[in-house]
Structure 1
Amino acid sequence: MLTKKTADRLVYLADKYETKDFLTKDPSQFMHRYTDPAEMEIAAFLAANMAFGRRDQILSHTEAVLQAAGTDLLKWVQNNGYRKFFTKGDSSYYRMYTHNDFLLFFDTVCTFIKESDTIGNHFKKIYTHPDNKGNYLTPLICNLFPENCHLIPHSKGTAAKRINMFLRWMVRDNSPVDLGLWKDWYSKKNLLIPLDTHVMQEAATLRLFQLSKNGNVPSASFKTDVQLTNLMETVFPGDPCRADYALFGFGVDKDSDS
């Protein structure tokens, strides 16, 4: 049950943690290096899809790719420069993801850019197609990638945390962290909270979810994500994904108190 006390605490935590300092140790820092929106999108999409595991490893492996790209990230993608970096086939580049996974990822991104000039333009075409009216953007994006590109989630009902985090970066405006590049064609009301097991545990601690009959925290899924996001809409009207900062902050504050 969401009490007024909990709602007030979530607003306080969002105010506390949605600051420029948040960028220091977060993968969102990379997109702020660029001034060209097309390059911001590429850097953000790469960083978001690598955002799991130890934070220092996320940052170092993302940094290595962007350093290899040099000063013109867009041209590096357009000219298949990534094929000179990811050369080791089935060998791991980052955790369970191989060089081939990253080649498939960048090949697909390169196709988006060749067809539509930017990632954002391509996703806008897909989203605004009459057949997709009323759908969430997240599963539409996942379906654009081949199933053997393991960097992108394809299982039915997935929470797709990293895609939702990327969309938060692209859509939310008036933020020191999120860029708001796509605010004119995708509403932040339609964003889903980036949800994983850790966020579910924090939400359960705040009693935003009921535990199962066995006392277990529900699993992170598309269904539970929609439930949590709809609940957070009552705390952050029109901007439910702002709760992502609050839930992050709750975990940090809780850990520092323990």
Structure 2
Amino acid sequence: MTKSELKEFLDAKVIQYNHPKFLESDPIQIPHRFSKKEDVEISAFLTATIAWGNRKSIINNANRMMELLDNSPHDFVLNHKETDLDKLAGFVHRTFNDIDFIYFIRSLKNIYQNHKGLESVFAQNVNSDSMQPAISGFKKTFFELSHQTRTTKHVSDPLKGSAAKRINMFLRWMVRDNSTGVDFGLWNRISPSLLSCPLDVHSGNVARKLKLLKRKQNDAKALAELDKSLRKLDPNDPVKYDFALFGLGVFEKF
């Protein structure tokens, strides 16, 4: 395919998959149950954190998280007492367990009380061409409270080689406009042009078949390479192609 043919092909796939019917089988359905900004972003962050493995299991366990937070995540985060955290005991999704969940709630409280919320923490570390340094800066802030070492693995650091798939997905949800009813467009301090594709097995394999990506590992270097390719196709909204790459991989076995 020529570059123009590739763009035409992928743009058509974006239209096909950037659609509300996509929500039926995707974890993004969890934050769509809320309307208050803080409820949306907290539920989205927690859902994205456990978004690996079987999609049905992710959705079920994210639902369980919201139930444990009384289906009012912002209110629970801000106003919980230590004894309220006891009911999180026993929660587990793969390697994310109640120790991690409890720390996440404490850290989110610190972020909303002392750092003006999630958007503010991510926005303060943005540079001119990438969100990856901002993700690394967010991790430093997120773990400024006393914590067990085991919990740090649940927030990726792109500056240490990670593709940070789950946080890049969360950022896509928060930043891209909501004109199609899929992403939220809640954050206006970060430009969609800075976003990176949530690089996983599906999107990575499709990107390689389409010659958008050569590197074999799905790591930070591969993400930088894919960023460069997607920004040539659409410099203003490169991560819209996540819908095309993921859809082609998961639903069409491309």
TM-score by length of 2: 0.86
User: CA 1:139 to 1:102, structure 2 compared with 1: closer, same or farther past 3 Å?
Assistant: same
Give distance in 1, aligned partners of 2:135 and 2:116: 20
Partner of 1:151: 154
CA deviation map 1:32-91 (0-9, x unaligned): 111110111101101111111001100000001101222432111113366133224xxx
The aligned length equals: 242
Partner of 2:249: 251
Partner of 1:87: 89
Write the mapping of 1:99-178 to structure 2, written as runs, cut at 5 A.
Answer: 99-124=98-123, 126-127=124-125, 136=131, 137-146=134-143, 148-149=150-151, 150-154=153-157, 156-173=160-177, 174-178=179-183
CA deviation map 1:198-257 (0-9, x unaligned): 3211111222223xxxxxx610111211211121112223100001001012114532x8
Q: Percent identity at matched positions?
A: 30
Shift, 1:9, TM fit: 1.1
- Structure 2: runs of 5+ lacking an equivalent: 144-148
Secondary structure of 2:162's counterpart equals coil
User: CA 1:253 to 1:9, structure 2 compared with 1: closer, same or farther past 3 Å?
Assistant: farther
Give distance in 2, aligned partners of 1:245 and 1:35: 24
Note if contact 2:34-2:40 (Cα within 8 Å) is conserved in structure 1: yes
Partner of 1:214: none
- Is 1:181 the counterpart of 2:206? The answer is no
- Is 1:63 the counterpart of 2:63? The answer is yes
Q: Which moved more, 1:52-61 or 1:139-148?
A: 139-148
Give distance in 1, aligned partners of 2:252 and 2:63: 30
Q: Which moved more, 1:139-148 or 1:162-171?
A: 139-148
Give distance in 1, aligned partners of 2:154 and 2:87: 17
TM-score by length of 1: 0.85
Give distance in 1, aligned partners of 2:125 and 2:186: 15
User: CA 1:55 to 1:2, structure 2 compared with 1: closer, same or farther past 3 Å?
Assistant: farther
Give distance in 1, aligned partners of 2:210 and 2:87: 44
Secondary structure of 1:218's counterpart equals coil
Give distance in 1, aligned partners of 2:209 and 2:70: 44
Write the mapping of 1:21-36 to structure 2, written as runs, cut at 5 A.
Answer: 21-36=21-36
CA deviation map 1:94-124 (0-9, x unaligned): 1012211112222111110111453223333
Query: Which has the higher relative contact order, 1 or 2, with Cα contacts under 8 A spaced 6 or more apart?
Result: 1
User: CA 1:185 to 1:96, structure 2 compared with 1: closer, same or farther past 3 Å?
Assistant: same
Q: Which moved more, 1:66-75 or 1:168-177?
A: 66-75
Give distance in 1, aligned partners of 2:180 and 2:209: 27
Shift, 1:133, TM fit: 6.7
Give distance in 2, aligned partners of 1:19 and 1:93: 31
Note if contact 2:176-2:184 (Cα within 8 Å) is conserved in structure 1: yes
Note if contact 1:172-1:180 (Cα within 8 Å) is conserved in structure 2: yes
Give distance in 1, aligned partners of 2:251 and 2:32: 26
User: CA 1:236 to 1:195, structure 2 compared with 1: closer, same or farther past 3 Å?
Assistant: same
Note if contact 1:105-1:151 (Cα within 8 Å) is conserved in structure 2: no
Note if contact 1:199-1:247 (Cα within 8 Å) is conserved in structure 2: yes
Note if contact 1:78-1:113 (Cα within 8 Å) is conserved in structure 2: yes
- Is 1:236 the counterpart of 2:238? The answer is no
Secondary structure of 1:127's counterpart equals coil
